[in-house]
Amino acid sequence: QVQLVESGGGLVQAGGSLRLSCTASGRTFSSYHMGWFRQTPGKEREFVAAISSSGRNTYYADFVKGRFTISRDNAKNTMYLQMNSLKPEDTAAYYCAVGVFPTVVTDPSGFGSWGQGTQVTVSS
In this prediction, residue 27 carries a pLDDT of: 67
How do residues 71-106 score in pLDDT, each as one tens digit? 999 999 999 999 999 999 999 999 999 999 989 999
Distance CA 34, CA 31 (A): 10
How do residues 17-74 score in pLDDT, each as one tens digit? 999 999 999 767 889 999 999 999 999 999 999 999 999 999 999 999 999 999 999 9
Beta strands at 118-123 and 10-13: parallel, antiparallel or unpaired? parallel
Is residue 122 within 8 A of residue 14, CB to CB? The reply is yes
DSSP 13-42: ETT--EEEEEEEESS-GGGS-EEEEEE-TT
In this prediction, residue 1 carries a pLDDT of: 75
Q: Cα 17 vs. chain centroid, distance in angstroms?
A: 15
Distance CA 106, CA 14 (A): 26
